[in-house]
Amino acid sequence: MDKKEVIKMSKKMTVWGIGPKLVKISLLYLAFTIILHFIRPDIFTITQISYLVSASLGIIFIVVGLVMWRLGVRVIEKAINEGRLLTKGVYAIVRNPMYSGPIIFFATGLALCFRSWLMLTVPIVAYIVCKLLIKEEENYLEKKFGQEFLDYKSKVNALIPFPHFTKLEKK
C-alpha cells in the first residue's frame, strides 16, 4: 500500500477507532435490557446466588474492566502519534483492551450487580458487534504495519485476554 492510501485511511481512523459506533450500539441494547429487566424482574433476575455474591463479583469485574480500559487508553495516543504498533503491556495480553475491558468485564460486572440474566446478553451482543466492526481497524493496521501486525495478530487475541494457545510459537 502506498503512503497516500495509509494517510487517507488514518484520517478516517481516529484514536478511538470503532469505539464510538460500538458504544452507541451497546448502550442502546443495554438500555433495552435494563428496561425489560425492570418490567419483568420475575423473569430476568438471577436468584440462584445471593445479591452479596453477585454484587461482589460484579464489582470485581467492573474494576478489572476499568483498569484494562485505562491501561489501553494511557498508551495508545502516544503510540499513534509516534506511528508505532503497540504490542507490550496490556497489549501483549489482548489486542483491543479499550474494547475488551468494557465488553468482557465491565458489561458482565454490571449484569452481575443488577443480577440480570438478560443483561448478561449485553457482552455477547457487544462482542459480536465488535467482531463485525473491528475488521475496519484491522485492515487499517494491516496496511499500515504489514507483517508486523499480522505476526502480532496471530499471537494475541482480539478481545479475550487469555493466551492464544493454538497459535503460540513452538519452542
Averaged pLDDT for residues 115-127? 95
**Tell me, what's the pLDDT at 7?**
47
The end-to-end CA distance of the chain, in Å, is 33
Residue whose entry in the numeric block shows the C-alpha cell 425489560? 36
What pTM value is reported for the model? 0.82
Q: Is residue 30 part of a domain?
A: no
Looking at the chain, the whole-number percentage of residues with pLDDT higher than 90 is 73
Q: How many CB atoms lie within 10 A of CB 130?
A: 25
Averaged pLDDT for residues 74-98? 90
Helices and strands counted in the chain (H then E)? 8, 0
Q: Which domain holds residue 94?
A: 1-6+50-156
Q: Is residue 126 part of a domain?
A: yes
Q: Is residue 169 part of a domain?
A: no
Query: Distance (Å, rounded) from C-alpha 154 to C-alpha 41?
Result: 43
Q: HSE (CB half, 13 Å, CA atoms) of 139? A: 11
Q: Is residue 24 part of a domain?
A: no
Q: Is residue 152 part of a domain?
A: yes
At 56, the pLDDT band (50, 70, 90 cuts) reads: very high
Averaged pLDDT for residues 16-43? 93
Q: Has residue 10 got a pLDDT over 60? A: no
Query: Distance (Å, rounded) from C-alpha 126 to C-alpha 140?
Result: 21
Q: Has residue 3 got a pLDDT over 90? A: no
Q: Is residue 29 part of a domain?
A: no
Q: Is residue 62 part of a domain?
A: yes
Q: Is residue 86 part of a domain?
A: yes
- If one counts the domains in the chain, the total is 1
Quote the Cα angle for 62-22-63, to 5°: 10
At 6, the pLDDT band (50, 70, 90 cuts) reads: very low
* 116: β partners: 45
